[in-house]
Structure 1
Amino acid sequence: MPGRRHRESGGTMGILRTWGVAAAVSLGLAVMSGQSAAEQAKGANTAAPVEAAWPAVIANEQGGSASLSKQQIEAVNKVSAYFNSIDTLKGVFLQTDPDKKQAKGKFYVKRPGLFRFDYGAPTKKVMISDGRFLAIQDPDLQNPDTFELDQTPFRLLLQKDVDLMRDARIVDVKQADDLIVVALQDKSPDAPGKIQLFLSTKPEVTLREWVITDAQGLETRVEVSDLDRSGAGVDPRLFIRDNPALKKL
């Protein structure tokens, strides 16, 4: 997940790559019955009759998306509408890195553009976006690594007006039972890689997890749970980088 760094560090790109995203932007339900949404989606081609009528959607060389069916467009628009409906969100995340190492923590989101991921022990790293810059703060390092938010996939999901049909290259769209899977790429050449979004549709559209594939083909999965959209506990000070007042929250 390359970006314009404001401090050079040999390990920075590795940290961004293993964290994944977006990103996102990214925000979901807990994995049910020990099976991730990604694992459920592996059977989408045979489990859902509608999928058989959907051709694979591959981004074309001109930077747009290949021809989409009406059902696929509706599915992508549902995903955009879901992100547009989010004002604040907090929950718990479980990240699985390409080497299968896992990390847990809490996250906070406030659209547009604000988010914070607090990693638990042993790393205790913090990732904060103040709407313009994304900073990775490590308690063992004096200075954080900082990237422009627009150079990361997070901008697609947490900008003021989320429109994936307009702003992303749609790589693939699948639907099986109560699951929508949308794979997309940022149109910007500064943000290579692919994001797969896994959303449940019952009782309502909700992001369950996302998988980031970086330019080297390495995958990072982030699953989220214990979601709260009430706004309680999402203090604006959480999104201020290097804020000493956070110790009092």
Structure 2
Amino acid sequence: MTRLIAALVSAVFLFGTLAAPAFSQARTLTPDEEFALQEISAHNTAIRTMAGRFEQIDSQGGRIEGTFWLKRPNNVRFRYGPPSREEIISQGSGFYVIDRQSRTQYAYPQENVPLRQFLGDTVSLINSSLSDVVMSESHVSVMIADDSPIGTVQVSLIFDRQTNDLVQWSLIEPSGVETTFSIYDTQKGVDIPDQYFRIDPTYRSVNAPN
């Protein structure tokens, strides 16, 4: 779990057979690709709150499920199901990894977290660090190269072409290790109080693992 958190910081969200290898430099988008990314960006910007379930699959085939809540801008919470006691919470100033059993928390700066562009007030995939776009009849795959505490991470976002919803994402670490997330049973426009992203002030701060 710690390895995944270092890459996400492990969390958001959420792959991968449609993703192509990243280019060393961004290429020029075709008119169809540019239109698709504009539609996807506008659709997801309009989603101000969302909640649902997620499944995480690591390179060894290990699976773990959990629940997530998203509230724009910059608020997200991932709660892993048993046996994990970890949660990941963002309040816009950083990503905090919470251990409910040890009652500890540690943080990563917001600017060092892959997928932060998707959590902001406005989603603009065209203005992100795009390296490739792959379109099929059913899905649009967007590859983004992003910096993280462990180096450059390749983030592959998969969107349903009919609904423009985010359905999966993959995180590929500099070592080649890949972690895949899928989201399902999502509900949009749900009421999520700001208090839901509060971190218990009695939790002890510890250093992030290397």
- Is the pair's TM-score, using the shorter chain for normalization, greater than 0.5? yes
Superposition deviation, residue 183 in structure 1: 0.8
Partner Cα separation in structure 2 for residue 108 and residue 83 of structure 1: 15
User: Which of 85, 90, 101 is the matching residue for 2:46?
Assistant: 85
In structure 2, C-alpha distance between the alignment counterparts of 1:76 and 1:101, rounded to whole Å = 32
CA drift at 1:87 = 0.3
SS at the partner of 1:192?
Answer: strand
What is residue 136 of structure 1 aligned with on the other side?
97
- Equivalent position of 1:183 in the other structure: 143
Instruction: Indicate the residue corresponding to 2:199 in structure 1.
Output: 241
Superposed CA deviations along residues 19-78 of structure 1, whole A, max 9, x for unmatched, are x46763x37xxxxxxxxx634x37x9xxxxxxxxxxx87242xxxx22221122222223
Number of residue equivalences = 201
1:108 to 69, 90, 99: 69
Deviates more, 1:139-148 or 1:207-216: 139-148
Residue-by-residue CA offset, 1:125-151 (whole Å, 9 max, x unaligned): 111011111110112334211111121
Does the 8 A contact of 2:4 with 2:179 survive in 1? Answer: no
- Give the CA deviation at 1:237: 1.3
CA contact (8 A) 2:4 2:10 kept: no
The amino acid that maps onto 1:97 is D
Root mean square deviation, CA, Å: 2.5
Cα distance between partner residues in 1 of 2:55 and 2:31 = 34
Matched position secondary structure for 2:174? coil
Could you say which residue in structure 1 is the equivalent of 2:188? 229
Matched, 1:214 2:173: yes
Which one is further off, 112-121 or 143-152? 143-152
CA distance in 1, matches of 2:189, 2:45: 15
In the alignment, the residues of structure 1 paired with residue 69 and residue 90 of structure 2 have an alpha-carbon distance, to the nearest angstrom, of: 10
Corresponding residue for residue 132 of structure 2? 172
Query: What is the CA–CA distance in structure 2 between the aligned matches of 1:21 and 1:82, rounded to whole Å?
Result: 25
Structure 2 segments unaligned to the other structure (5+ residues): 203-210
Q: Normalized per residue, which structure has more strand?
A: 2
Larger radius of gyration: 1
Change in Cα spacing, 1:90 to 1:57, as seen in structure 2 (3 Å) is: same
After superposition, residues 14-25 of structure 1 pair within 5 angstroms as 14-17=3-6, 20=8, 24=12
Compared with structure 1, are the counterparts of its residues 230 and 163 closer, same or farther at alpha carbon in structure 2 (3 Å cutoff)?
closer
The letter for the 2-side match of 1:171 is S
Q: Provide structure 1 residue ranges, at least 5 long, that are not aligned to the other structure.
A: 1-10, 28-36, 45-55, 245-249
Q: Which structure 2 residues correspond to residues 189-208 of structure 1 after superposition, within 5 A?
A: 192-202=152-162, 204-208=163-167
Counterpart of 2:205? Answer: none
Identity, in percent, stands at: 23
User: What letter is aligned with 1:226?
Assistant: D
Equivalent-residue separation in structure 2 for 1:147 and 1:206 (angstroms): 27
Distance 1:189 1:108 in 2: 22
Q: Which has the higher helix share?
A: 1
Out of 109, 117, 122, the residue aligned to residue 161 of structure 1 is 122
Instruction: Verify the 8 A CA contact 2:47 2:189 in the aligned structure 1.
Output: no
What amino acid maps onto 2:23 in structure 1?
Answer: I
User: What CA deviation, in whole Å up to 9, does each residue of 1:159-191 have, x standing for no partner?
Assistant: 12222222x2212111111211111123x5766
Corresponding position: 1:38 with 2:16: yes
Distance in 2 separating the partners of 1:197 and 1:15: 17
